[in-house]
Structure 1
């Protein structure tokens, strides 16, 4: 399951202080010192009990027609757009009895959708009891990524992201199935951001069958290749054949192989 990083008595930080310190030190989740530093900073931001509410109130008073006011959604609030290898966001998790859940349904908030991630990230419980997760682990290198492929999912535990709890979700290893919190909750995330991430699959899993149920992150290149082949473009079919044999991305090789007719 995600690794828990203990932070004792974090010093409250403003969002500006957090960004400045993380930009200065950098965020490399493969480096232990960088990971610990980022966890301490994230805990410091979470210890600031007013910054997020202040931001939301300020945004509500802004001109919503302004072009720059586009990073805010119904669940995810972008606090720092991708830069220097990371981005920061706040996620809002409604409870079953909240109007947002009742009107939009569980799927709108990724509840009940077992999945992994194709990037590392740190998360901390900021407000409320926190969403509950069933945690699993698996070996990404052992799977080809085919829908229906059997996967050795190993159940670890069920637990909640309580206030102040910092977890490190490891790319292509940690799988979780989230469930609504007992009451409205908020988490903060530092997410690694790399141009290479788009070439690696993120999977949805079928826990009952222990299998891959789907790929969640179709890339723009995959979509264009599928469209080209579907439209009957001979060049697209030839490109799919080439990609199936030689593309450096395993995900693209698999997709291209699916597009080649059996007789080709």
Structure 2
């Protein structure tokens, strides 16, 4: 089974499958205990792999998707007190550069403020005005399935009342790294930053900073002709810096 968020049938089938997985109240705990036992004996199965400070990869990329579990500590939990809100992306209004489905698996669920915006109408410059439209504030309770739409839905998550877990089916495709993910100033309705600078952007910046002539030439060319809007924007910024000396 693949996952194509642009296909109504595929989206519906994936949502049903995710809800069915969430109805299994023991699988995740069993999987985590198996991982811990394997770590102790040196025989880890690889079924669940750390994906970030709060996430576990349950099924790696295949057929255009992957599956993960996210852990959401409450303010009073030791992980929150030790690492702070930023480690769990709390209080950070942002969009996503991929579609995903999520379901509340355990606990009352994180609380989110939701907005919508029109991605194609913005360049992506920091400080650029954006027509953010507030939708609602709600919690991801157990069994609730939501579709986060790429480049359209913006949310700001807040800690749950108690430890919670969500499950995600996330779209994965090769061009994803070329598409921007933004941080927003929701009070000022502006883009506050780009959250996913690509490796190519870093390489280009390093080449220009090191004074490489080929990098300077590529920068001018990329600013005019690169197919990625994100790279054109970065190259235009670097071109201005080169001209100003």
2:244 pairs with 1:244: no
Please say if residues 116 and 153 of structure 2, whose CA atoms lie closer than 8 Å, have aligned partners that are also in contact. Answer: yes
**1-structure distance, mates of 2:141, 2:70:** 14
**2-structure distance, mates of 1:45, 1:66:** 26
The alpha carbon displacement at 1:208 in A equals 1.9
Q: Paired residue for 2:18, among 32, 42, 46? A: 42
Indicate the residue corresponding to 1:191 in structure 2. Answer: 170
Structure 2: gaps spanning 5 or more residues: none
TM-score of the superposition, structure 1-length normalised?
0.88
Report which stretch shifted further, 64-73 or 198-207.
Answer: 64-73
1:26-175 equivalences under 5 Å are: 26-63=2-39, 71-72=49-50, 73-175=52-154
The alpha carbon displacement at 1:29 in A equals 0.5
Give the ranges of 4+ consecutive aligned residues of structure 1 lying more than 4 Å apart after TM superposition: 64-70
**1-structure distance, mates of 2:227, 2:96:** 20
TM-score of the superposition, structure 2-length normalised?
0.94
2:205 pairs with 1:229: no
Structure 1: gaps spanning 5 or more residues: 1-22
Indicate the residue corresponding to 1:207 in structure 2. Answer: 186
Q: CA RMSD in A?
A: 1.5
**2-structure distance, mates of 1:52, 1:68:** 14
Deviations 1:37-65 (A, max 9, x none): 00000000000000000000000011376
The alpha carbon displacement at 1:263 in A equals 4.7
Please say if residues 38 and 44 of structure 2, whose CA atoms lie closer than 8 Å, have aligned partners that are also in contact. Answer: no
